Amino acid sequence: MEMIRPEGPKPVGPYSPAVRIGPWVFISGQIALDENGNLVRTTLEAEINQVLKNLRAILNAASLSPSNLVKVTIFLTDMAFFPIVNAAYEKLFPNGQYPARETVAVAALPRGARIEISAIAYDPRG
């Protein structure tokens, strides 16, 4: 098992941002922490964009891209955010090749975040 440590915010608990096992990369849930570990919460769009930026940073650290994602889980504190999240998420996949996904409503997320995304990526290079 190889731990993947991207540049950027440190985990808020005792876990790795991502681990690689063979061709699989398991990405821990990402909230909107900026490089200094502060939660970006000015607007919902800014929060979502920071989460996606953090997800991309992990993929980059693993020498992967969003096209390598095979499964994504989105956690929202309010399902009313769903259309706004979809609009930002769609831009992550400009070719329209979307991974499998579920979106789950939760009562709360770490540090008062409104969105968290975890994912599984596949590296065909092994």
The pLDDT of residue 30:
96
Please list, in sequence order, all residues whose beta carbon lies within 8 angstroms of the beta carbon of residue 20, skipping any fewer than 6 positions away: 1, 2, 4, 26, 62, 123
The pLDDT of residue 11:
82
What pLDDT tens digit does each residue of the chain (126 aa) get?
899 988 877 787 889 999 999 999 999 999 999 999 999 999 999 999 999 999 999 999 999 999 999 999 999 999 999 999 999 999 999 999 999 999 999 999 999 999 999 999 999 998
Instruction: Give CA separation, 38 vs 11, 28, 61, 71, 102, in Å.
Output: 12, 18, 21, 27, 27
pTM of the predicted model as reported, rounded to 2 decimal places: 0.95
109-126, pLDDT tens digit by residue?
999 999 999 999 999 998
Separation between Cα atoms, residue 39 and residue 82, nearest integer Å: 20
Is beta strand 100-105 parallel, antiparallel or unpaired with respect to 69-76? parallel
The pLDDT of residue 102:
98
**Which residue ranges form the domains of the chain, and what is each CATH number?**
2-10+27-122 (3.30.1330.40)
